[in-house]
Amino acid sequence: MKYFIVSGEPSGDLHGSTLAKEIYKMDNEAIIYGWGGDLMKNAGVNITKHFTELAFMGFVEVLLNLNKILKNFKEFKNTITKLQPDKVILIDFPGFNLRIAKWLHKNNFKTYYYILPQIWAWNRSRAKKIKKYIDHSISILPFEEKFYKKYNLKVHYVGHPLLDHIQQFKLMNKDVIKTNKPIIAILPGSRIQEIKILLPEMVKAVKPYENDFQIYVAGLSFINKNIYLDCGVAPDQLLINETYNLLQSSYAAVVTSGTATLETAIFDVPLVVCYKANWVSYLIARMVARVRFISLVNLIYNEQIVKELIQKKCTADNINYELNRIIYDKQYRQKMIENFAELKKILGDSGASQKAAEIVVKY
């Protein structure tokens, strides 16, 4: 069987890599192609385009890169037409994936959507597209099954794959980063636009802690190091592709909103969530959003258990204030860690990637 996985971001690359490994275990004749990153490549996927050429953050940024995005659509169609995969698995990345889903359906390709778009947060009209163009929808969030029933859409709930990723990492990596001081981690995101906007404020916020704490920034190899350095990060503070090692060793964290917030919580590291975007993009998002929170931690828990500093509230002073609470208010800190334990129970059982692969291979 020939498969094609489409992932447009680091989190999708991670989930696509473990999905691919499970598919290979179940299908001895599997050949897997895809758009993704190094993790998928290392898992045996034949990568035909790297996700760094695909991801754009915000409404304005999408408009500015419209020609490139349209070229990507054309290139994808040509690649699929040439390879003729038996099954196409779309992972998150709805701006691109839902558009190509229509074309895939029209051209009789069997489609699977793994890690469904967060349409409960905004753009609920996308439910109709998912129902019409996707053959099998695979959910990783416990409340999505009930949500999609409103649209007469059956989804397969498999649990959250991050539980498996992090459990496996902990089993294989017992060591922590050795330092004489407790560690404050900064996770500035995976997109250049968000790093340039957020990281300078994050760095400024942790400056007062440098005598008593070791500061580390979780960098990524596909981002030019100079971007981090230009934001005020010292060379010895930058750790490249060491995010899980860093989280396993950290006492507190400052994290850009996204999958990293959930990863940090699963590692039981108290955190403050930061988000700031182009003002036009932010205002549009505010108009269409239907949720109270932006971080996965709070969304899944359905209550604010970690502080979210959004747009004009995302300042060095406010980040610093929240860090003080996380570090020095023992009761506040302990309550957050107890909430993380409940969060993990809500996420459900392990084995999400295996269950997802079974659906892809068997149906």
47/67 same-domain check: yes
Tell me, yes or no, whether 176 and 50 share the same domain.
Answer: no
Cβ burial, residue 227 (10 Å; 0-12/13-18/19+): middle
Q: Check whether residue 125 and residue 145 sit in a common domain.
A: yes
Residue 341 scores a pLDDT above 50: yes
The residue ranking higher by pLDDT, 62 or 120, is 120
Residue 189, CA distances (Å) to 10, 101, 293 in order: 10, 27, 18
Which range, 88-97, 273-282, 317-326, has the best average confidence (pLDDT)?
Answer: 317-326
Burial class, 154, CB count within 10 angstroms (exposed 0-12 / middle 13-18 / buried 19+): exposed
Dmax over CA atoms of the chain, in Å, equals 61
DSSP label at residue 221: T
75 and 103: one domain?
A: yes
Residues 305 and 191 grouped into a single domain: yes
Residue-wise pLDDT for 158-204, tens only, equals 999 999 999 999 999 877 898 999 999 999 999 898 999 999 999 99
The residue written with tokens 């964290």 in the block is 253
CATH number of domain containing 20: 3.40.50.2000
Tokens 């009209």 found at: 125
pLDDT tens-digit map of 95-118: 899 999 999 999 999 999 999 987
Judged against a pLDDT cut of 80, whether residue 63 lies above it is answered with no
Burial of residue 92 (CB within 10 Å: 0-12, 13-18, 19+) is: buried
Separation CA 340–CA 247 (nearest Å): 14
Asked if the model's pLDDT at residue 122 lies above 80, the reply is no
Q: Do 54 and 152 belong to one domain?
A: yes
pLDDT of residue 288: 45
Domain span at residue 316 reads: 169-347
* pTM of the predicted structure, to 2 decimals: 0.88
What local confidence, expressed as pLDDT, does residue 145 receive?
83
294 and 196 co-located in one domain = yes
Q: Which residue has the higher pLDDT, 184 or 349?
A: 184
135 and 217 together in one domain: no
- For the stretch 304-320, pLDDT in tens is 999 999 999 999 999 99
Is the pLDDT confidence value at 33 over 80?
Answer: yes
Same domain? For 145 and 39 the reply is yes
Q: Are both 217 and 357 inside the same structural domain?
A: no
If you ran DSSP here, which 8-state letter would residue 120 be given?
Answer: T
Whether residue 282 has pLDDT greater than 90: no
Q: Are 186 and 205 in contact (CB under 8 A)?
A: no
> 152 and 209 share a domain?
no
Residue 125 clears pLDDT 80, i.e. is over it: no
Q: How many structural domains is the chain composed of?
A: 2
Report residue 286's pLDDT band, with 50, 70 and 90 as the boundaries: low
Residue 221 has pLDDT above 70, yes or no: yes
Contacts of 22 (CB under 8 A, 6+ apart): 353, 354, 356, 357, 358
**Same domain, residue pair 56 and 26:** yes
Calculate the average pLDDT of the chain.
91
DSSP E strands in the chain: the ranges are 2-7, 31-36, 46-50, 87-91, 110-114, 136-139, 155-157, 183-187, 214-219, 238-240, 250-256, 271-275, 307-310
